[in-house]
Amino acid sequence: MSGNIYYPDSSYKETAKIHNYSDKYQEFTKDPDAFWRRIASDLLWFEPWDQVRVWDHPFARWFTNAKLNITYNCLERHLNNDRRNKVAICWVGENNRERILTYYQLHKDVMRFANGLKSLGVTKGDRVCIYMPAIPEMVVAMLACARIGAVHTVVFAGYGAKALNERITGSQSKVVITADSTVRRGGSIPLKPIVEEAIINAPMVEKVVVLRTQEPKVGLLDDLEIDFEDLMSSVPRQCPPEPVGSEDPLFILYTSGTTGAPKGIVHAAGGYMVGAYYTTKYVLTLQENDLYWCTADPGWITGHTYGTYGPLLVGGTIFMTEYTPDYPDPGVWWRLIEEYGVSIFYTAPTAIRMFMKVGSEIPDKSDLSSLRILGSVGEPLNPEAFEWFYHNIGKDHCPILDTWWQTETGMHMITTMVGEPMKPGFAGKPIPGIVADVVNDEGDPVPSGTTGFLAIKEPWPSMMQMVHQNEERYRGYWNFGKYHYYSTNDLAVKDDDGYIMLLGRSDDIIIVAGHNVGTAEIESALVSHQSVAEAAAIGKPDDLKGNLIKAFVILRNGVIPTPKLIHDLKYHVRMMLGPISVPAELEFVETLPKTRSGKIMRRVLKAREMGMDPGDVSTLEE
The residues of the shown chain that bind ligand WT7, judged by CB under 6 A, are 255, 301-302, 377-380, 402-407, 427, 488, 490, 502, 505, 511, 516
The distance of closest approach from Cβ of residue 427 to ligand WT7 in the complex, given in angstroms and rounded to an integer, is: 5
Give 427 or 526: the residue with its C-beta nearer to ligand WT7: 427
Least separation in angstroms between CB 348 and ligand WT7? 8
Least distance CB 308 / ligand WT7 (angstroms): 14
Q: State in angstroms the smallest separation of the CB of 534 from ligand WT7.
A: 27
Give the amino acid at 131: Y
Please report how close the Cβ of residue 131 comes to ligand WT7 at its closest, in angstroms. Answer: 18
Q: Shortest distance, CB of residue 486 to ligand WT7, whole angstroms?
A: 12
Q: Which is nearer to ligand WT7, 389 or 405 (CB)?
A: 405
User: Could you tell me which of 80, 85, 75 has the C-alpha nearest to residue 113?
Assistant: 75
Q: Cα dihedral sign for 444, 449, 452, 456? A: positive
What letter does residue 598 receive in the DSSP assignment? Answer: S
Nearer Cβ to ligand WT7 (45/480): 480
Rounded-to-integer distance, Cα 545 and Cα 92, Å? 26
Question: Measured from the CB atom, is 505 or 540 closer to ligand WT7?
Answer: 505
Instruction: Provide the minimum distance between the beta carbon of 297 and ligand WT7 in the complex, in angstroms, as a whole number.
Output: 11
Please, are residues 358 and 352 in contact by the beta-carbon 8 Å criterion? no
CA 588 remoteness from chain centre:
33
Q: From the CB of residue 162, how many other CB atoms can be counted at a distance below 10 Å?
A: 21
For ligand WT7, the closer CB: 149 or 303:
303
Which runs of E-coded beta strand occur in 145-223? 151-154, 175-179, 181-184, 187-190, 207-211
CA distance 140 to 146: 10
In Å, the largest CA–CA distance within the chain is 72
> Given the complex with ligand WT7, which of 28 and 486 has the nearer CB atom?
486
Nearer to ligand WT7, 257 or 432 (CB): 257
| Identity of the residue, 279 or 406, whose beta carbon is nearer to ligand WT7 in the bound complex | 406
CB of 473 to ligand WT7, least distance (A): 14
Preceding omega of 216 cis (within 30 degrees of 0): yes
Cβ atoms of 309 and 165 closer than 8 Å = no
Q: Where are the beta strands (DSSP E) in 336-464?
A: 344-347, 373-377, 400-403, 414-415, 429-430, 436-439, 452-456
Q: From CA 574, how far away is CA 84, in angstroms rounded?
A: 44
Q: Is 199 helix (H, G, I), strand (E, B) or coil?
A: coil
Q: How far is the CB of 265 from ligand WT7 (least distance, A)?
A: 8
Contact 260, 520 (CB under 8 A): yes
Q: Which is nearer to ligand WT7, 321 or 407 (CB)?
A: 407
Residue 557 three-state SS: coil
CB of 239 or CB of 513, closer to ligand WT7: 513
What minimum distance in Å lies between the beta carbon of 253 and ligand WT7?
9
Residue 321 near residue 93 (C-beta atoms within 8 A): yes
Element (H, E) at 554: strand 546-555
